[in-house]
Structure 1
């Protein structure tokens, strides 16, 4: 665990010292909520009994987890290409610690971006529920989802040979996980064939649970099922990242 903390601390220190990364993270959050959320609210006033800003904000927050995970994968790939990962491997630490350090720093950045989006969304009219325990549960689910997608991103980074190759592969996960879900529109308006795809997407369960827990939007899926799917996604993502990382270092 100490090795995981050291790697996490190293990445977060670089993050706090990078003005460009901090500014980009903050501006991306504001632009998504203000330009997309407010613009779409002008077209759709209410959906499933709630204000559209309250409905769409959990989906935008999920997007921050996806974007943050992609950035975390780039960090691991860059360290692989520059030979820094080999220095980790000769140290007497478990290989899982290397991945957990990357995944935890990525999840931390995603949580910071989610907090910024939440504040901006509330200022733009999103209405939080009155249950603070729901807010905490929603944040925990978001952290688990960020770890799961970080695992996917790190798995791709472990086998990619270039930055461009990484982006090409991660693109296959990024957009489908967001747009083939209920993040932007309710399940009831989707055609049957697309609804099947959406129900296989862990993002759907995260967004539905966060809406219900933090914003009081009526859940369309069983809450316990959503929690179980997000937890399973986090475990499988971490397992996949570890498996592919071990395979790559044995070559």
Structure 2
């Protein structure tokens, strides 16, 4: 009888914990969303940035499609995958700064004193960023469709593009959280992310095919997880369901996410009170 009671109470405790975590995440997500709603300029920037990546770079380098072996019927079609992944990268890389501001103002310490699981404060920001960047990616894909880009894999491929973007964003967000809890102030955060962000973007297949890069840049691009995310999305947009490319993308992003999450878990264990 006691064994039966124990086995029944175990799932009950897990179910109760799940409900508590859901409520905590819902409350914290409401905080991030409410903050975003109070900043209309931020909302406008988040909506405009994907269009800028797509239209500005798409037309700036449009002549490249006529003089070089750029895949796709147009450079805008080639650029769509790069615009999706670059937008996710920039948003997730800066995502941890809000927690850093909370640390500087003392709000994070007061939140840790509240009767909530500490990890919920961090993971809710993680979930918020993944949802936000997925919405931005959907806007890019819709805008690209309006200007003539057609997707070889249809609606299912668009869902797969969003999944690839979310997997890549998870790793980048983890690194941003590492910076947020490792640095002393936001004055250190922005120079580091600025220094890292631009080179990683250019040493990827976002703007030009890897085949057109110098040999030393090809090596760096092959080590860049952004390249693998872009290649997976681009394959879905231009070529269809190429399982070899998708398998390589999934493997590279899984390794990237595991390394980033392990680093974030180690830092959070040391920094969370």
TM-score scaled to structure 1, two decimals? 0.89
Deviation of residue 219 (structure 1)?
Answer: 6.3
C-alpha distance in structure 1 between counterparts of 2:227 and 2:243, whole Å: 10
Residue 221 to residue 16, structure 1, CA distance change in 2 (3 Å): farther
Q: Residues 145 and 206 of structure 1 are in contact (CA less than 8 Å); yes or no, is this contact kept in structure 2? A: yes
C-alpha distance in structure 1 between counterparts of 2:38 and 2:80, whole Å: 29
Q: 1:114 aligns with which of 124, 137, 143?
A: 137
Q: Which residue of 2 aligns with 1:155?
A: 178
Residue 164 to residue 118, structure 1, CA distance change in 2 (3 Å): same
Q: Which residue of 2 aligns with 1:192?
A: 215
C-alpha distance in structure 1 between counterparts of 2:240 and 2:201, whole Å: 19
Q: Which residue of 1 aligns with 2:15?
A: none
C-alpha distance in structure 2 between counterparts of 1:111 and 1:227, whole Å: 18
Matched, 1:11 2:32: yes
Q: Which residue of 2 aligns with 1:76?
A: 99
Structure with more contact order per residue of length (Cα contacts < 8 Å, sep ≥ 6): 1
Q: Which residue of 2 aligns with 1:126?
A: 149
Q: 2:261 aligns with which of 232, 238, 244?
A: 238
TM-score scaled to structure 2, two decimals? 0.83
Matched, 1:164 2:187: yes
Residue 127 to residue 197, structure 1, CA distance change in 2 (3 Å): same
C-alpha distance in structure 2 between counterparts of 1:5 and 1:205, whole Å: 33
C-alpha distance in structure 2 between counterparts of 1:92 and 1:235, whole Å: 30
Q: 1:99 aligns with which of 122, 125, 137?
A: 122
C-alpha distance in structure 2 between counterparts of 1:215 and 1:94, whole Å: 44
Q: Residues 205 and 221 of structure 1 are in contact (CA less than 8 Å); yes or no, is this contact kept in structure 2? A: no
Q: Which residue of 2 aligns with 1:209?
A: 232
Greater CA radius of gyration, 1 or 2?
2
Residue 234 to residue 98, structure 1, CA distance change in 2 (3 Å): farther
Q: Residues 151 and 236 of structure 2 are in contact (CA less than 8 Å); yes or no, is this contact kept in structure 1? A: no
Deviation of residue 218 (structure 1)?
Answer: 8.8
Q: Residues 211 and 217 of structure 1 are in contact (CA less than 8 Å); yes or no, is this contact kept in structure 2? A: no
Q: Which residue of 2 aligns with 1:34?
A: 55
Q: How many residues align?
A: 250
Deviation of residue 186 (structure 1)?
Answer: 0.9
Q: Which residue of 1 aligns with 2:252?
A: 229
Cα RMSD over matched residues? 2.3
Q: Which stretch shifts more, 52-61 or 128-137?
A: 128-137
Give unmatched runs, 5+ long, in structure 1: none
Q: Which stretch shifts more, 90-99 or 223-232?
A: 90-99
Residue 218 to residue 176, structure 1, CA distance change in 2 (3 Å): farther
Name the SS for the 2:96 alignment partner.
Answer: helix
